Amino acid sequence: MKKKKILLITVPLICIIGIIIGVVHYKGKQVDSKKESNNSTELADNEKSDGGTSNEEVKDNSSASEKSDVDQSDNKEASATTAKKTDTTKNSKSVAKNEKWIYEKKGYYLYKTNSDKSNKTKVKTEPIWDYNIDGNTLYYISASEGSNGIELKSLYKVNLGTGESKKLSDADTARLCVVGDDIYFDKNCEVFTIKTNGTGLTKISKEKGSILQKADKEFVVYTYNDKGKTMQATVPTKYNKHQIGAVEEVK
In a domain, 99, yes or no: yes
* Spatial CA neighbour of 188 closest among 215, 214, 208, 212: 208
Which residues form the domain of 212?
A: 95-249
Say if 89 falls within a structural domain: no
| Percentage of residues in the chain having pLDDT higher than 70 | 61
Assess if residue 80 is contained within a domain. Answer: no
pLDDT of residue 195: 96
How many structural domains are present in the chain? 1
Residue 37 lies in a domain: no
13 falls in which pLDDT band (50, 70, 90)?
low
Query: Is 235 a residue whose pLDDT tops 60?
Result: yes
117 assigned to some structural domain: yes
What is the distance between the alpha carbons of residues 94 and 145, in angstroms, rounded to a whole number?
Answer: 19
pLDDT band with cut points at 50, 70 and 90 for residue 223: very high
Give just the sign of the alpha carbon dihedral 17, 18, 19, 25.
Answer: positive
Are residues 158 and 124 in contact, defined by beta-carbon separation less than 8 angstroms? yes
Go through 65-89 and write b for each residue having 16 or more CB atoms within 10 A of its CB, e for each that does not: eeeeeeeeeeeeeeeeeeeeeeeee
**Is residue 44 a part of any domain in this protein?**
no
For residue range 165-217, list pLDDT tens digits in order.
999 999 887 889 999 999 999 998 999 999 999 999 999 999 999 999 999 99
In a domain, 140, yes or no: yes
Q: Is residue 26, in this structure, part of any structural domain at all?
A: no
Whether residue 126 contacts residue 105, with contact meaning beta carbons closer than 8 Å, is answered with no
Can you give the pTM of this predicted structure? 0.59
Whole-angstrom Cα distance, residue 202 to residue 105?
A: 29
Question: CA 89 to CA 95: how far, in whole Å?
Answer: 10
User: By the 8 A CB rule, do 98 and 136 touch?
Assistant: yes
The rounded distance, in Å, linking the Cα atoms of 35 and 40 is: 8
Percent helix, strand and coil across the chain, each to the nearest 5: 35, 35, 30
pLDDT digits (tens, 9 = 90+) for 15-45: 566 556 554 454 555 545 544 545 544 444 5
Domain at 182, CATH number: 2.130.10.10
